Amino acid sequence: MTWLVWRQHRAQVAWAAGALAVFAAAIAITGVHMADLYGAAVRDDGSAGPRLLDHLFDGYGAIIDTVHLTLLLPVVLGAFVAAPLIAREADLATDALVWTQSVTRRRWLAAKLAAVVGGCVALAAGVSALVTWWSGTPNALGGDRFHGAQFDTQNLTPVAFTLFAVALGLAAGAALRRTLPAVVATVVGYVAVRMAVGIFVRPHWLAPLHRTGGAGPDARLRSGSWLVKSDLLDPSGHAVGVRLAVPRSCARVSAQAIDGCMTRAGFRTVITYHPPGHYWPMQLAESGLFVALAAGLLAFAVVRTLRAEP
Amino acid sequence: MTAADATVAIEADGLGKRYRRGWAVEDCSFRLPAGRVCGLVGANGAGKSTLIRMLAGLARPTAGRAAVDGRAPDGNDPEFLRSVGYLAQDVPLYPRWTARAHLALGAALNPAWDQDLARDRLDLLGIPLDQRVEQLSGGMRAQVALAVAIGKRPRVLLLDEPVAALDPLARREFLASLAVLMAGHDLTVLLSSHLLPDLERICDHLVVLVEGRAVLADDVDEIIRTHKLVRGPESARRALARRHRVVDDDSAGPVASAVVRLQGPEPDPACELHDLSLEDIVLAYLAGARAARTVPDLALAGAGEGR
C-alpha cells in the first residue's frame, strides 16, 4: 500500500513541500525584520511616538495578507485533497480495481486515511507554528490575538480546523461518490460551520467579564484582551442606543469636555470583554469542538466506504 | 478447501440482490466446475453485472450465498481476494498512469504477482508501456486491465463485458488472447457478454441469466446434445411436454415448433427432431421467458410470442 499511497499523492506532497518551503523562507525573513523594527520603535518610543507605531509595518502588506490567507488552508486541503480521495476513485470506477487486488478494503482505507489525514494535519501544524512565531510581533503591536484571522490562524485552532475540513471532505466524498459535488459540499459545509461557531459559539466559550467606567471612549483594557461589546448606559441604567440624547446640561460643552460632563451627569460605559487569560481556554474549547466533529465525520466516511458497492 | 469443493470454482445458491427498484438478481443457483471458460449470457439488465460484482466481493448479496474457489466473496478476506481476478465493465484504469505504472500497482498490491506473465503479454501485443493509458485505444486499455487481472495469478477470473466497448477486430483479438492464456494455466473464467457469437468462440460452459435467474447452466456440448427443435402435430408436442422441458413454444409460426430440453430417453417418433445452434438455444430461453410473462403455462397454451 505504501507504493500506491506514494504514487497517488506524491504530486500533492511535492506541491505542499514547495509551498511550505517558500512560505517558511518569507516568514523567517520578514519575521526577523519586523521584530527588529518593532524592538527599535519601542526603544525610541519617546521620540517616535504612537503615530509611527501605527505605520510601522506599512511596507509589509504582502506578507501580512499571505499570513491571513492561511485561514483558507484547511478548506483547501479538505476540498482538494480529502474530498477527491474516495470520490475520484468512484468517478473513475477505479475503486473496483483497487478493491479487487489482494489488499483488503480495510487496509486500503487505513493506509490512505493515515497518509492523507496525517499529512494534512502535519502541514497545518507546520504552517500554524510558522504563523504563530511570526505573529508574535504584530500581536504585540496590536495588543490582541483574539480577532478572527489571529485566533483562527495561530496555535491550535488552525490544526483542529484542518482535521475537521479533511474529515468533512472525506465524508462528503464517501457519501456523494462524485468529485465535484463533494468539493462543493466540503467548501459550503466548512464555511457554514466555521461561521456559525465563530458567531454563535465562540463568544460564549467562557463568560465574558464586564467593567463599568465613565462615559466616553472604551475604558482601557489590558493589552491582549478581546473587547466583545461596549454599551453606554444612561443615568437610570438603561442602554443608550445609537440615538444618544445629550443632556441639556452638556449641550454646550466643547467636544473635549463632553465625556467628563456626561460622566458627571450619570452616564456610564459598560464594556464586555475577554481578558488575555481566556485565550488558551477558548483555543482548547474550540479546537476540542472541531476535533470531535472531525471524529464523527471520519467514522461516517469509514463506514460508508467499507459498505460501498461499486 | 475440501476435495469435493476443489472441482467447483463458482457456486451460487439462491443468490439474490435487491435494490430499491427491485431484484437485480433473484434466486440464482448454478455451479461452475473448475477449469472451464464459462460464458454468462442474458439480455441487458438481466443481472449479469450484479451477479459478477457479488462474486467479486464488491456487492453484498441480499439473499442466498455464493462461493468462489470455496470461499464466500468478501472484500476484507485476503484469501478470497488473492484467488479472484476481476475485470469491471468499461475496464477502469487510472487515465494518467502508464501501463507500466499499472503493472507496478499489481506488483505492489498482490503477493503472488507474476511480473513476467503480465509484462510479456503486453510486449507480445505491442502495447506501449510508457504511454498514459488514456492515450491508448480501447482494445489496448482492455489488455492492460486484463494483464493486471492476470498478473495477480487468480484461480478464478471474472470478466464483466470486457469486450462490449471494443470494435469487432479488437474484440476478436482480446478473446483470442484470453483463449491462449487459458491454455497454459489452471484457471476458471466467467465471462459475461450479450454478444453470444463472441462467447461461442471460446466458452465450453454457459450460464443463461433471465431476469436475475440462471435458467440454464451446463457444458456447451451437453447443451447442444440435449436441446432439440421439435416439429410435429400438437398432440405429439403435448405428449412431449409431459416428459421433457419445453423451453419455447412457437405454435403461431408457419410451422408449429418448440424448443425442448430432453430429459431422459428420446421422445415420441411422431415428432421430427432437429439440432440447434447454441445461439438458437439461448435465444429460445430468452424468448421463452418473455412469453412466460404473459402466458403462464407455455407448453399447453399454444400461444405464440408473448406481449
- Given a cut of 70, is residue A217 above it in pLDDT? no
All 3 cell numbers of residue A37? 523594527
Q: Rounded distance, CA B289 to CA B241, Å? A: 16
Each residue of A261-286: b (16+ CB within 10 Å) or e?
Answer: bbbeeebbbbbbbbebebbeebbeeb
Mean pLDDT over the full length of chain B: 86
Same domain for A194 and A244, yes or no, is no
pTM for this structure?
0.88
- Domains: count for chain A: 2
- Given a cut of 50, is residue A269 above it in pLDDT? yes
All 3 cell numbers of residue B131? 504511454
> Based on C-alpha coordinates, what's the Rg of chain B?
21
Residues 79-108 of A with CB under 8 A from B: 92-94, 96-106
Partners of residue A96 in chain B, C-beta under 8 Å: 53, 56, 58, 86, 88, 92
Q: Rounded distance, CA A154 to CA B275, Å? A: 83
Same domain for A285 and A160, yes or no, is yes
Q: Among the listed ranges A4-8, A97-101, B74-78, B173-177, which one has the minimum average pLDDT value? A: B173-177
Mean pLDDT over the full length of chain A: 89
Strands B245-250 and B156-160: unpaired
Same domain for A268 and A283, yes or no, is no
Same domain for A78 and A113, yes or no, is yes
Which of B58, B77, B112 lies at the smallest CB-CB distance from A100? B58
Determine which of B25, B60, B76 to mutate to test the interface with A (most A C-beta atoms within 10 Å).
B76
pLDDT at B174: 83
Identity of residue B27: D
- Given a cut of 60, is residue B307 above it in pLDDT? no
Picking from B13, B14, B11, the residue whose alpha carbon sits closest to that of residue B23 is B14
Q: Rounded distance, CA B295 to CA B307, Å? A: 9
Residue span of the structural domain in which A230 resides: 209-276
pLDDT at A158: 97
CB count in 10 Å sphere of residue A9? 17
- Given a cut of 80, is residue A133 above it in pLDDT? yes
Containing H/E element for B275? strand B272-275
- Given a cut of 80, is residue A99 above it in pLDDT? yes
Region A106-126: mean pLDDT is 97
Q: Rounded distance, CA A226 to CA A107, Å? A: 47
Q: Locate cell 475540513: which residue?
A: A165
The residues, ordered by sequence, that sit 6+ positions from A224 with a Cβ below 8 Å of its Cβ are A139, A143, A144, A145, A275, A276, A279
With CB atoms and an 8 Å threshold, state whether B75 touches A309. no
Residues 117-176 of B with CB under 8 A from A: 145, 148, 152
Of A131-140, A215-224, B123-132, which one has max mean pLDDT?
A: B123-132
Any CB–CB contact under 8 A between A10 and chain B? Answer: no
* ipTM of this predicted structure: 0.87
Same domain for A169 and A106, yes or no, is yes
For residues B260 and B288, the answer to whether their CB atoms sit within 8 Å is no
Q: Among the listed ranges A128-137, A229-238, B31-40, B52-61, which one has the minimum average pLDDT value? A: A229-238
Q: Among the listed ranges A96-100, B84-88, B159-163, which one has the minimum average pLDDT value? A: B159-163
Phi, psi of B290 (to 5 degrees): -65, -45
pLDDT in tens, A166-189: 999 999 999 999 999 999 999 999
Same domain for A202 and A265, yes or no, is no
Q: Among the listed ranges B80-84, B101-105, B288-292, which one has the minimum average pLDDT value? A: B288-292
One-character DSSP codes across A55-122: TTTGGGHHHHHHHHHGGGHHHHHIIIIIHHHHHHHHHHTTHHHHTTSSS-HHHHHHHHHHHHHHHHHH
pLDDT at A103: 97
- Given a cut of 50, is residue B27 above it in pLDDT? yes
| Confidence at B254, pLDDT banded by 50, 70, 90 | low
Same domain for A31 and A14, yes or no, is yes
Q: Rounded distance, CA B201 to CA A192, Å? A: 60
Between the alpha carbon of residue A88 and those of residues A109, A155, A185, the distances in Å are: 14, 33, 15
Same domain for A241 and A287, yes or no, is no
Same domain for A13 and A72, yes or no, is yes
pLDDT at A216: 66
All 3 cell numbers of residue B219? 457444458
pLDDT at A20: 97
pLDDT in tens, A146-156: 877 889 999 99
Same domain for A188 and A300, yes or no, is yes
pLDDT at B200: 85
Q: How buried is B231 (Cβ within 10 angstroms: 0-12 exposed, 13-18 middle, 19+ buried)?
A: middle
Same domain for A111 and A171, yes or no, is yes
Bridge partners of residue A274, in order along the sequence: A226
The residues, ordered by sequence, that sit 6+ positions from A197 with a Cβ below 8 Å of its Cβ are A286, A289, A290
Same domain for A75 and A54, yes or no, is yes
All 3 cell numbers of residue B182? 487459458
pLDDT at B258: 83
pLDDT > 90 in chain B, percent: 56
Q: How buried is A238 (Cβ within 10 angstroms: 0-12 exposed, 13-18 middle, 19+ buried)?
A: exposed
